[in-house]
Chains A and B, each alone.
Chain A
């Protein structure tokens, strides 16, 4: 049997399965943005957007767009009943102050000690794209990462012993969702929690630069 990697929506859907009712959650740009599409309406999860939206809802019908209501990716959204708005300093009180049950970020690499690199591909990269990632990474109760297991270019693993790219934060990732597996961060490194159907432990290890552990 051969395995089939999840596509980006598949990774988002896999993450959504693990978010229980009642959590207050920030979704980063990229794969994480799609997570809310896979949380059923009858499961109350409150989504925070860093530009000051509490209770962000799905995209509106084209004839119901409010130009004054966007998410962190500046896409038009709706506000769920019960939602509210805060200014930017209070929005990052939420992000930094431990008030989010979960933040899901995209990343270039994650290391076995929970380090995350997601803002620059080289120390001397001319332009830096930090945004709110450093605040969210150190501030949420849980930080999950959504990314492809290997790079598109040379197939190098994003699951690392040590990050090769500049860090966003140290030792903060608690779980990684890739197109191939779900990995926890344990004291001794990556712990495999789930794999796509048909994947063998040897195949997953082969695509991971860091050593994987099984329960």
Chain B
């Protein structure tokens, strides 16, 4: 019997190694907050964190950055007046800024087996300095590579034992994309449902992308 449920957060995060690339989903909501707290407690270091933004002064992103566990942050947006902004200014955090759509597509490419792609996004900007560009169909384009995670931390609304997931409203955001882009995909879910309860056409993230699920009720 396939059963991806694990009993608690430490079991969900067991084996995450120093130096791992961690994909953290979320955009205002849909953030796997309990798993991030668990990663702070678990203590892996020298991490690379991939997230939409650098967060604020409090909250999951700021909290894990403040521990010093993260060496490098890959994201689309950092507020100067935030934990991430101050760590970067102090030389304690490496930063790679990626346009948000390119970030999503690099993650998707990693999950999809695409080895590179050209996009017009950012091609005429400072972000393209020193990088390969090419005019395709008359448009200047920038070469981008997949962004693969060792671990994805995912938030779900419902999950069944195969790891099929739904995400509520705009809490979907990066969750399905990051789930398919990592070697180990760990999910926190608000609700557990019996196999077959989620209508097949309504599964947002199929269980094939999911390895471990832990129940985190609201």
Q: List residues of chain A with CB under 8 Å of any chain B CB.
A: 49-53, 66-71, 74, 79, 85-89, 91-92, 95-96, 120, 123, 126-136, 138-139, 166-170
Contacts and interface: CB of A to CB of B under 8 A. Distances in A.
- Interface footprint category on B: 35 or more
Most buried by B among A53, A70, A86, A166: A70
Contacts of A139: 101, 120-121
Given A132-B101, A134-B121, A166-B125, A51 B170 contact: yes
A35 to B, nearest CB: 20
Interface of B: 27-30, 52-53, 76-80, 85, 88-89, 95, 97-102, 104-105, 107-108, 119-127, 140, 157, 168-177, 204
A127 B169 contact: no
Given A85-B169, A170-B124, 10 more contacts: A67-B29, A70-B28, A88-B52, A88-B173, A89-B105, A89-B107, A92-B100, A92-B105, A128-B95, A134-B99
Contacts of B105: 89, 92
Contacts of B102: 134-135
Contacts, number: 133
A96 B101 contact: yes
Given A74-B28, A132-B101, A127 B79 contact: yes
B121 A96 contact: yes
Closest 6 CB pairs of A and B: A92-B101, A135-B101, A74-B28, A132-B100, A170-B124, A70-B28
A120 B19 CA distance: 31
B119 A128 contact: no
B172 A129 contact: no
B124 to A, nearest CB: 4
Contact of A89 (B85, B177, B204): B177
Contact of B100 (A50, A86, A168): A50
A130 B102 CA distance: 11
A124 B190 CA distance: 43
Contacts of A91: 104, 173
A128 B53 CA distance: 11
Contacts of A123: 126
B205 to A, nearest CB: 8
B88 to A, nearest CB: 6
